[in-house]
Structure 1
């Protein structure tokens, strides 16, 4: 199984890995268990936060960071380091969008309809984006605007 080191609300699992941890909301990706395979992703791709390569804490604090231990257990994964703090699906999407799209300009990898089936689910992502947007630089805001045009709420 994918190695998950000690986590906290400040250093947590996010991005594609978190989007593949089952949510009772019915959101996220369909690959689920495949993202938890050994070496599916490098640690610096899915571990976010304090002292990590990817960190959005300065933009969103601890919004959407939850104890995901039970969800992992339901997938048959019992990590040695518990609790396992993970981003909920809206936060994981925004983390992934920020690090893989807004900073680079490659905005087509985070597709809202792929992970959020309902209008209400998409609203939760947009609510986080509303928190994030005032803290972005001009280029990141421009990339966010382009992303929103390609990923509308409706």
Structure 2
């Protein structure tokens, strides 16, 4: 497929440690059919608006020491296929499972109430199938060793509230 008029897109410098994540990565199309559906709002720029692009370890807490580069890939060709022309040649991004895991870790550490966490991350918005949730939970289970007891309880409660297997 050849795109004639690619739209310039400002993407922060990324690498396998500082990659697009959170809602930004969830808006990159996936062959699996997971994720969000607001690609235009997440990437297209106008003279009046440049969307926020979330980078792991900068805009969110880093999960690299826990998850390594699991789920981090070069999304450059996917962005080009959608009609964007990133300014850099490599655009590292989290796959949808890693993006949600990063969001969960960040918010479990930052929010003060279970209700707030449950309202901010509604898993059925992005991962609806039981096997998708299980794949995500295998990532979030790795956070146990670095979370406080209270944070881990918040994580487990969030998982329970999102499980409809």
Give the structure-1-normalised TM-score: 0.87
Matching residue of 2:14: 7
Matching residue of 2:101: 94
Shift of 1:153: 5.0
Does structure 2 retain, via aligned residues, the 8 Å contact 1:103–1:140?
A: no
Unaligned 5+ segments in structure 2 are: 1-7
Separation in structure 2 between the aligned mates of residue 98 and residue 75 of structure 1, nearest angstrom: 29
Separation in structure 2 between the aligned mates of residue 138 and residue 101 of structure 1, nearest angstrom: 11
Match 2:155 to one of 144, 148, 151: 144
Separation in structure 2 between the aligned mates of residue 99 and residue 130 of structure 1, nearest angstrom: 14
* Alpha-carbon distance change, 153 to 57 in structure 1, aligned in 2, over 3 angstroms: farther
Equivalent pairs counted in the alignment come to 149
Matching residue of 2:110: 103
Does structure 2 retain, via aligned residues, the 8 Å contact 1:102–1:141?
A: no
Match of 2:56, SS state, is strand
Query: Structure 1 segments of 4 or more deviating over 4 A?
Result: none
Separation in structure 1 between the aligned mates of residue 26 and residue 36 of structure 2, nearest angstrom: 6
The correspondence of residues 65-144 of structure 1 with structure 2, limited to 5 A, is 65-105=72-112, 106-107=116-117, 108-144=119-155
Unaligned 5+ segments in structure 1 are: none
Greater Rg over alpha carbons, structure: 2
Does structure 1 retain, via aligned residues, the 8 Å contact 2:105–2:140?
A: no
Give the structure-2-normalised TM-score: 0.82
Q: Deviations over 1:64-106 (max 9, x none)?
A: 1111112111221120112100000000001112213443143
Matching residue of 1:48: 56
Q: Deviations over 1:10-45 (max 9, x none)?
A: 11000000000000000000112211133222x5xx
Does structure 2 retain, via aligned residues, the 8 Å contact 1:102–1:143?
A: no
Separation in structure 2 between the aligned mates of residue 111 and residue 103 of structure 1, nearest angstrom: 17
Shift of 1:120: 1.7
Separation in structure 2 between the aligned mates of residue 116 and residue 126 of structure 1, nearest angstrom: 11
